[in-house]
């Protein structure tokens, strides 16, 4: 069962597999985890836009078959309604994005191409590189565990392409904790090692969503990966206990702790 598999994105996130997103949900509350595994979490516009950028950058040959760019028409007029109806009919089974979002995708892709570091990581000179391939591990305690690297060079490194409000170092260090970036890095590299024995480096390629679409690349340090593993273990403990008790409470914690001012306000 352990191995790299050609699962669709929908299959990967179907709830049949325990993913880093599920672990992050468990660290919010058991109820968030249960909701995530049932596939009932909201697909936010930022997520849809991020998928479009990923396809445009990592699988540009797939973009036209997956996405349809909505025409800018006045749908209050008869002609506009007719043109849009033709577009909808021709776009069955495709994800629709606006012309503005498509233009952003193109500008962000161009900025990534122009950046030497990003180009190096995103365009490896290797025959053994794979995009959006799912890694699956059967675990005796937790069942099917899975990761889905944006890009993986066998036995070498994994890339996580991120669209973001800021790509600077301060934002990145906060994101390691606040958005679970460190957890994901540990989960991906550890599962990859269990699958093929590779000692993978973990690289983030960040591109901002507003002009001038600045780019920055970062590598996970041993300290970051160690912190991420601690968070993975913490999440797995929550998931295991809830499974044993068959109880997924919608609570962030037990009891009524005293709240303190943040450090910066003291």
Q: Given pLDDT bands bounded at 50, 70 and 90, which one contains residue 46? A: confident
d(CA 75, CA 85): 9
Residue-wise over 127-155: b if at least 16 C-beta within 10 A, else e? eebebbbbbbbeeeeeeebbbbbbbbbee
Sign of CA dihedral 135, 198, 119, 218: positive
The residues, ordered by sequence, that sit 6+ positions from 185 with a Cβ below 8 Å of its Cβ are 160, 202, 220, 224, 225, 228
pLDDT at residue number 86: 85
pLDDT at 105: 96
Query: Could you give the domains of the chain?
Result: 3-38+117-247 (3.90.320.10)
What average pLDDT score do residues 126-139 get? 93
For residues 124 and 130, give the distance between their C-alpha atoms in angstroms, rounded to a whole number.
Answer: 10
Distance of CA 172 to the CA centre of its chain: 15
- Label residue 134 left, alpha or beta by phi (over 0 means left) and psi (-120 to 50 means alpha): beta
Q: What is the pLDDT of residue 25?
A: 96
pLDDT at site 41:
79
SS3 of residue 200 by DSSP = coil
- Indicate the pairing of strand 143-147 with strand 151-153: unpaired
Determine the Cα angle at 75 with ends 69 and 77, to 5°: 140
**41 against 237, higher pLDDT:** 237
pLDDT band at 133 (very low <50, low <70, confident <90, very high): very high
What's the gap between Cα 263 and its chain centre?
A: 30
pLDDT digits (tens, 9 = 90+) for 84-113: 888 888 888 888 899 999 999 999 999 999
User: 8 in helix, strand or coil?
Assistant: coil
On the question of pLDDT at 227 being above 90, the answer is yes
Q: Are 254 and 30 in contact (CB under 8 A)?
A: no
For residues 129 and 151, the answer to whether their CB atoms sit within 8 Å is yes
Q: Please provide the average confidence, as pLDDT, over all residues in the chain.
A: 93
The answer to whether 147 and 20 have CB atoms below 8 angstroms apart is yes
| H or E stretch at 52 | helix 45-58
Instruction: Flag whether pLDDT at 58 surpasses 80.
Output: yes
pLDDT for 27-39, tens place per residue?
Answer: 999 999 999 999 8
Angstrom distance (rounded) from CA 33 to CA 138: 20
The average pLDDT across 138-142 equals 96
How far apart CA 151 and CA 159 sit, in angstroms, is: 5
């Amino acid at each position: 069962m352990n191995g790299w598999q050609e699962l669709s994105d929908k299959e990967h996130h179907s709830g049949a597999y325990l993913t880093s997103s599920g672990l992050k949900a468990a660290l919010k509350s058991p109820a968030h985890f249960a909701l995530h595994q049932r596939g009932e979490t909201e697909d936010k516009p930022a997520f849809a836009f991020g998928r479009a950028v990923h396809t445009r950058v990592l699988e540009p040959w797939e973009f036209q078959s997956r996405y349809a760019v909505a025409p800018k028409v006045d749908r209050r007029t008869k002609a506009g309604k007719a043109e849009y109806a033709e577009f909808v009919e021709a776009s069955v089974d495709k994800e629709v994005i606006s012309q503005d979002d498509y233009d952003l995708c193109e500008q962000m892709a161009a900025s990534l191409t122009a950046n030497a570091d990003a180009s190096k990581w995103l365009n490896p000179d290797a025959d053994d590189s794979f995009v959006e391939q799912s890694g699956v591990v059967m675990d005796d305690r937790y069942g099917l565990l899975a990761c889905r690297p944006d890009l993986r060079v066998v036995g070498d490194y994994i890339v996580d392409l991120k669209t973001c409000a800021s790509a600077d170092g301060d934002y990145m260090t906060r994101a390691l904790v606040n958005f679970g970036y460190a957890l994901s890095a540990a989960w991906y590299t550890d599962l990859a090692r269990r699958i093929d024995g590779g000692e993978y480096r973990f690289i983030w390629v960040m591109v901002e969503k507003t002009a001038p679409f600045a780019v920055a690349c970062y590598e996970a340090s041993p300290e970051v990966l160690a912190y991420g593993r601690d968070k993975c273990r913490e999440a797995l403990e929550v998931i295991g206990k809830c499974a044993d008790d068959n109880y997924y409470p919608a609570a962030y914690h037990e009891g009524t702790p005293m709240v303190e001012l943040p450090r910066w306000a003291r």
